[in-house]
Structure 1
Amino acid sequence: MATLGDALRLPAGSTVLDLACGKGELLCTWARDHGVTGTGVDLSTAFLADARARAADLGVADRVGFVHGDAGRYVADEPVDLVACVGATWIAGDTPGTVRLMERSVRPGGMLLVGDVFWRVDPPREAVEAIFGDLRGVDCLSLPGAVERFHELGYDVVELVAADERGWDRYVAASWLSMRRWLDANPDDELAPEIRAELTRSQSQHVRWQRPYLGWAMFALMRR
C-alpha cells in the first residue's frame, strides 16, 4: 500500500472511500503520508475500533472517519477522487459487480483501486479446492485475464503493484507466530484445539498451494 500510495501521486486533500476497509491501514497511512481525507466502511466493529485507534495513533483522526455498515451497499453522498476495495471484491457478488458498485461513488476522472488474487500459473484442481473450497463461484483469473476483464469493464489499468512469494510469506507467516504465542499462553482455552488445527492447516496450505499458485495484486483503474 505504501508503494502504491507513492506511485499514484495523489494530491494532498484528495478524497478516498475505502469499502471493506478492515483496520483502516490504507486510509490512515495515506492520510499521514499524502494528506488524503476519507471514509472507511466495514461490517466488523472490532476492525473499526482498531481503525479509529490507528487513526488516533498516527494523528489523522481529524482527516479520516469510519462507518459501520455493509460495504456491498454503500454509495458515497458526494463523489470522491478514489474508491478502494482491497481484498474484498466479493462484497457486491463478484469482481465486476464490485467495480460497478465502486464507480457509483467516484467522480469523473477519478480512480478505482481494486486488490484481488490471481493465478500465477494454471492451478490443478487440488489447489483450487484447497484455497477456495467449493469450486462453484470461484472468481479468480490469471494476471492477463484480470487485466483483460478490467478492459472489458471499460477501464485502463494505470498502476499495478503485485506481491511476490516473499510478500506472501510476510503476510501469512506473521499470523503463525501470533497463533503459536496465543496457544502457549492459553493452552486450556476452549478455542485452543481450533487454533491449533488452523495453525497446522495454514502452514501446509501456504507452502503447498498458496505460495506457488496464487498471486495478489492491487490495480489502479481509470474509466476509458
Structure 2
Amino acid sequence: MDLPRIFTIRESSHRIHNPFTPDKLAALGRALHLAPGTRVLDLASGSGEMLCTWARDHRITGTGVDISTVFTTQARARAAELGVADRVTFVHGDATGYVADEPVDLAACVGATWIGGGVAGTVDLLAGSLRPGGLMLVGEPYWRQQVPDQETARACLAGDADDFLVLPELVARFGDLGYDVVEMVLADQDSWDRYQAAQWLNLRRWLDGNPDDDLAAEVRAELRTEPVRYTRYQREHLGWGVFALIGR
C-alpha cells in the first residue's frame, strides 16, 4: 500500500503537496481562528505540513493519515523538527473509509477527494469523524473559466469537462450537500507555478542522478511534455482552493 514511486520523485522537494504556498497555508490557519487544543483529523495528510505548522502556530492537536510511506516518514520528521511530535501523530494507511475513534473539531481532506469518490463522498466521509457543529475543510480543483472542449479538460488532467465545476457552482454544490461555506483560501497562478514548476527541477535532478533507472524513460517523457501542457492549458483553466464548511 503506497503511492507510485513517480509521484514521490516529482514532489521530492515539496512540503505541501498541492498548489498552496506556505503563506497561503498560514493564511488559512489564521482565517479559521483555531483555538489551542483544537482536535484535527487530516485525511491524505501528505508530508504533514498543515498539521505540523498549525500545531506550532495555533497549538492544535491532530492525526494525519496518508498512503505514502515516504510522505509519512517526512511528516514525522517535520513534527520532530518543529517540536510538535507530542501534539500530532501520523499514520501510514489508506485514508479511504478512515473514521476517527472519537469525534474531532476539524476534519480535513485537502486535495484528495478521490478518497471518497468525489466531493460528495468525501464530505460524507469527513462527517463521520466530525463533532456536531465542527469545521470541515475540503481542498478541490475548479475551472477558472468554462473549458472550451474535451481536449482542454483532459490536458488539465480531468477525465471529462464535467469532472470539475466553475467556482460559483462548486460553492453552490457544498450548499446542496447541506453545508454553509464559511471561509475559503484560493491558490493563484503564482502558487500553482511554485507547485508545478518545482516538479520539473525535481524530475531533472533525479534523472541526472538515475539515468539507468527503470523509470528514467517515463521521467524523460514528462520533462519533454509537462511544461508545455501546464503553460498551454492548466495554468489558464484550472483553479484550486480550500473551502471551510459547517453543516446546517
**TM-score computed with the length of structure 1 as normaliser:** 0.95
Q: Distance in 2 between matches of 1:7 and 1:203?
A: 33
Instruction: Name the Cα RMSD after superposition.
Output: 1.4
Query: In the TM superposition, what are the counterparts of 1:75-90 in structure 2 within 5 Å?
Result: 75-90=99-114
Structure 1 Cα separation of the partners of residues 205 and 94 of structure 2 = 33
Match of 1:126 among 123, 127, 151: 151
Corresponding residue for residue 213 of structure 1: 237
Q: Secondary structure at the match of 1:132?
A: coil
Summarize the Cα distance change of 1:34–1:133 in structure 2 as closer, same or farther, 3 Å threshold. closer
Aligned to 1:64: 88
- Opposite residue 152 of structure 2, the aligned amino acid is A
- For 1:99, the equivalent position in structure 2 comes to 123
- Give the stretch that moved more between structures: 199-208 or 188-197: 188-197
Number of positions where the alignment pairs a residue of Structure 1 with one of Structure 2: 223
Query: What amino acid sits opposite 1:158 in the alignment?
Result: V
Q: For residue 177 of structure 1, report the CA deviation from its aligned partner.
A: 1.3
Structure 1 residue identity aligned to 2:147: P
Instruction: Tell me, yes or no, if structure 1 residue 13 matches structure 2 residue 13.
Output: no
Larger relative contact order, structure 1 or 2 (CA cutoff 8 Å, min sep 6):
2
Structure 1 portions without partners, runs of 5+: none
User: Aligned to 1:195, which of 209, 219, 240?
Assistant: 219
8 Å CA contact 1:158–1:222 kept in 2: the answer is yes
The residue number in structure 1 matching 2:78 is 54
* Residue matched to 1:33: 57
How far has the Cα of 1:133 moved from its partner?
A: 5.5
Shift of 1:69: 2.0
Q: CA offset at residue 47 of structure 1?
A: 1.3
Give the gaps of 5 or more residues in structure 2.
1-24
Structure 2 distance, partners of 1:133, 1:12, is 39
2:242 is aligned with what amino acid? Answer: M
Query: 2-side partners of 1:106 and 1:134: how far apart?
Result: 31
Identity value in percent: 61
> What is the TM-score with the length of structure 2 in the denominator?
0.86
Secondary structure of the structure 2 residue equivalent to 1:21: coil
- Cα distance in 2 between the residues matched to 1:189 and 1:74: 35
Task: Kindly state the Cα deviation for residue 201 of structure 1 after the two structures are TM-superposed.
Answer: 2.2
Give the letter aligned to residue 151 of structure 2: E
What are the within-5 Å matches in structure 2 for residues 100-119 of structure 1? 100-119=124-143
